[in-house]
Amino acid sequence: MSYHRAVRLVPLTATVLLCSSIAGGCDAEGPARGAPALLDADAELVVTRSISHVPPGGDGPPRLELALRLPDGRLRPLPFDGNAVGGVLFRGEAHVLDASRRLHRVAPDGSAELFAEGVPTDPAVSPDGRLLAWVEVHGHLGTIQVDDGLSRRAVAEGLASAGALRFDPTGSQLFFVGGRPGGVAGLHMTDTEGGGSRCLTNCTLETGAPWGDGYLPPPGGAEALEIGGATVAWTTGGRRVEVRLEAEP
């Protein structure tokens, strides 16, 4: 199904723009599949300690000590032989991101398996827990991958920037802030079954060219997106932005 969009602006207070640039290399091959879920579905991955770390030559994210919060409230430290900077739980397994942009699948005993490389930001999990989405880098361009626990598929490719991944409540659509080479970052959406992404804002703007009044600051992060029915909204740049998705006949 294809869509067009209607955009409505309402003046409000400003927020901060955030979009992750893509650079570096990546291995397009994924790991072998088939490991079963190891944790109760109600377990949580939590940060128990954040350690400031400044790598040679510049700033860096804090290193995190992680633990599993079990349904009875007990904390079970998650051993990880690496510099953890983020992570999520997906299908009962911790998926931990390290400072070298590698995503690892980590069992409760600390045994780890490389899941993906060239991952600049934390992945996103669909509301029903069925799907995992992340940005994966290939050279200077990026791809958004979706995994259902059995296989993975590319749902958006050729991106110069990507971030702020957010599933809709049904898990059938994925929204993200990104841009094509030479283009300006805006809000995009894609079906989680694949088929390519669709630009929703800033679609015709180019870097180095006048933007006029056509520029809409993207949401400041995934948590800023308000997704309900056929409308996506956020507050940014002093305005309330509402994008209405309307199915075309």
Q: How many CB atoms lie within 10 A of CB 57?
A: 6
What are the pLDDT digits (tens) for 1-58? 433 343 333 332 222 222 333 433 333 334 444 444 445 557 788 888 887 765 555 5
The structure tokens 């490719």 sit at 157
Cα separation, 168 vs 113, whole angstroms? 29
Q: Distance between CA atoms of 140 and 160, rounded to whole angstroms?
A: 7
Tokens of 114: 């490389």
Q: Cα-flanking dihedrals φ and ψ of residue 9, to 5°?
A: -115, 135
Q: Which residue has the higher pLDDT, 12 or 182?
A: 182
pLDDT the model gives residue 27: 35
The pLDDT value given to residue 96: 93
* pLDDT per residue as tens digits for the range 126-155: 999 999 999 998 788 999 999 999 999 999
Reported as a pLDDT band with limits 50, 70 and 90, residue 187 is very high
pLDDT class of 59 with cuts at 50, 70, 90: low
CA distance 151 to 158: 21
Structure-model confidence comparison of residues 131 and 67, the more confident one: 131
pLDDT at residue 56, as a whole number: 58
Instruction: Report how far apart, in Å, the C-alpha atoms of 89 and of each of 20, 68, 69, 72, 238 are.
Output: 22, 9, 11, 17, 35
Q: Which among 79, 48, 78 is positioned nearest to 64, based on CA atoms?
A: 48
Is 171 a residue whose pLDDT tops 90? Answer: yes
Q: Which residue has the higher pLDDT, 58 or 235?
A: 235
Question: CA 96, CA 104: separation in Å to the nearest integer?
Answer: 5
* 186 Cβ neighbours under 8 A, 6+ residues apart: 177, 178, 179, 199, 200, 201, 202, 203, 205, 216, 218
CA 124/CA 120 separation, integer angstroms: 12
pLDDT of 166 strictly over 90: yes
